[in-house]
Amino acid sequence: MVRSTTLAFFLILFVVGCVAIPTENEAADYTRSQVQDAIRYYDRNGRDAAVEFYSSEESRHGQWYVFIVDEHGYVIATPNTDLIGRDPALRVDASGYFYGDDLMSATEAGKWISYIFPHPQTGENARKLTWVVRHDGLLFASGFYEEK
């Protein structure tokens, strides 16, 4: 009796502990999970560590990377180092669309924004769908590119 109760207890723990982790084939869910992971990293390790890590190539996963924007709209972390500290007024995509207001209007609940941006693997302009979440006064974001 004790043995079967113990086995049932561990089985329940195993099932509860199994959380489906999205794969890159599930682009939207994978993107949201990248942002949540970045927020957890920030909460665990602090702002300086998060900025350092998400500014490194080590944080990039194929087309996915996290970028962090400060309360004034400046990018403070991204593996695309030429974008760090860039004037927020320059958030105009290749089609001329100013996406800065969309980005800055994100809340704690998160929101999707869309704009044209160079694909990091091909260098070609492509539609990018970006998930943005406001947390602790910062914006945490990641996106994926639509397939042609």
Per residue of the chain (148 residues), give pLDDT as tens.
555 555 555 555 454 444 567 666 689 999 999 999 999 999 999 999 999 999 999 999 988 999 999 999 999 999 998 999 988 888 999 899 999 999 999 999 999 999 998 887 888 999 999 999 999 999 999 999 997 6
> Any residues with CB less than 8 A from the CB of 81 and at least 6 apart, and which?
55
> Any residues with CB less than 8 A from the CB of 142 and at least 6 apart, and which?
31, 34, 35, 38, 64, 65, 66, 67, 130, 131
DSSP one-letter string for 64-78: B-EEEE-TTS-EEE-
So what's the pLDDT on residue 112?
98
Residue type, 100: G
In a domain, 106, yes or no: yes
In a domain, 129, yes or no: yes
Instruction: Please tell me whether residue 41 adopts helix, strand or coil conformation.
Output: helix
For the stretch 122-131, what's the b/e string if a residue is b when 16 or more beta carbons lie within 10 angstroms of its beta carbon? eeeebbbebb
So what's the pLDDT on residue 9?
52
So what's the pLDDT on residue 51?
98
pTM of the model: 0.83
In a domain, 120, yes or no: yes
Domains contained in the chain, number: 1
Instruction: Please tell me whether residue 44 adopts helix, strand or coil conformation.
Output: helix
So what's the pLDDT on residue 65?
95
Torsional sign, CA 8, 14, 19, 25: negative
CATH number at residue 126: 3.30.450.20
In a domain, 102, yes or no: yes
In a domain, 47, yes or no: yes
Residue range(s) defining the domain that contains residue 35: 24-145
In a domain, 48, yes or no: yes
- Paired strand residues for 143: 130
So what's the pLDDT on residue 120?
78
User: Which residue in the block uniquely carries the two structure tokens 């403070």?
Assistant: 76
In a domain, 3, yes or no: no
